[in-house]
Amino acid sequence: MADALVLAGIHHITAVTARAPENLRFCTRVLGLRLVKKTVNQDDVSAYHLFCADRVGTPGTEVTFFDWPHLPPHQPGHGEIARMALRVGSRQALDWWLAWLDGHGVPGLERGSYAGRDALFFTDFEGQRLALVDDGGVPGGVPWERSPVPPEYQVKGIFAVTLVVRALEPTARVLVDVLGFRLRAEGRGTSRSALFETGSGGPGALVLVEERPDLPRAQLGAGGVHHVAFRVPDDATHRAWREQIAQAGIPVTPQIDRFYFRSLYFREPGGVLYELATDGPGFAVDEDVEHLGEKLSLPPFLEPRRAEIEAHLRPLEPVEAENR
């Protein structure tokens, strides 16, 4: 692994919803995130791609959703991203969140430990598995002044993701030998697990891998996670990463211009889809920061199809109006 190529951490996590209006309400009115970009899945323009994040859409704070109402519920198993863990700043924040989520009828609330830190586990209304983790006060995202969550308790970004795979070693080899992650800790309980970190490590740069050969293959559906994206600083480094992944014998897409960032995709041996995404240009490239997410944004190559695309999208306006 060349020393010059280092992933800074997690860029975003993209999950699947079959109920976009309710999903948006949960992200913004319960989790307190800001809708920073309302766009479409560029590979399936019939579906929204909703980006919720901190006030300005900082890489590493983005939780995004594809809206696929035709999909059945997600079936957990191996070969999946089983949980997204988000950051809060203190144990006191977890206490606040426990009361807040309970007051909103959020299911599955349970205190526990995640990657050695205090955590609160829960699911959303579609069974999406989530955790809030005390990050020890490490600086995070920019608070959103119109969030229903007080600034001191707001979600600060992504803490980690949990992968569940059939066999740990092949996934670990790609993380370490190809992507430059470091093994931070190993666990042996009812199943083997390993915690890996990249960049400077710590919150936002962690991947927890659990080995579960006893489980069936996961079937992606509503309430599941589609992929995790890792941070790359610029286009030149992005191209270098693509070359390195290809040289390792892993099938990888060409660099794709998503307008808000550049992307490339590949599957690791356990079946989980990875993306490498550049930090820029960012979400303010076509909207003022004060008005992020207020209208449907389309990249230039889709703009000529705006009328057609808008005609096939379900309205989100009642939910959006609550967030302005």
Confidence of residue 30 (pLDDT cuts 50, 70, 90): very high
Q: What would the mean pLDDT of 185-214 be, rounded to a whole number?
A: 94
Determine the pLDDT at residue 4.
74
What is the structure's pLDDT at 314?
Answer: 87
Percent residues over pLDDT 90 in the chain = 94
CB 266 within 8 A of CB 252: yes
- Please report the pLDDT score of residue 322 as a whole number: 63
pLDDT score for 100: 98
Domains of the chain with bracketed CATH: 10-322 (3.10.180.10)
Amino acid identity at 268: E
Does the pLDDT of residue 323 top 70, yes or no? no
Helices (H), 141-297: 168-173, 235-247
Is the pLDDT at 61 greater than 80? The verdict is: yes
Structure tokens that stand for 111 in this block: 């205190």
Interval 12-20 mean pLDDT: 97
Q: Which of 106-110, 163-167, 192-196, 316-320 has the lowest mean pLDDT?
A: 316-320
Q: What pLDDT sits at residue 319?
A: 62
**Residue 302: pLDDT above 90?**
yes
What mean pLDDT value characterizes the chain?
A: 96
Average pLDDT over residues 20-26: 96
Residue 303 clears pLDDT 60, i.e. is over it: yes
Task: Scan for tokens 């710590």, then name that residue.
Answer: 202
Is the pLDDT reported for residue 317 higher than 70?
no
**E-assigned strands of the chain?**
10-17, 34-41, 44-53, 62-67, 80-88, 110-114, 117-123, 129-134, 157-165, 182-188, 192-197, 206-211, 225-232, 256-257, 261-267, 273-281
User: Average pLDDT in the 242-258 region?
Assistant: 98
State the pTM of this model: 0.96
pLDDT given for residue 119 in this prediction: 98
Residue 305: φ, ψ to 5°:
-100, 15
Instruction: Check residue 1 and give its pLDDT.
Output: 39
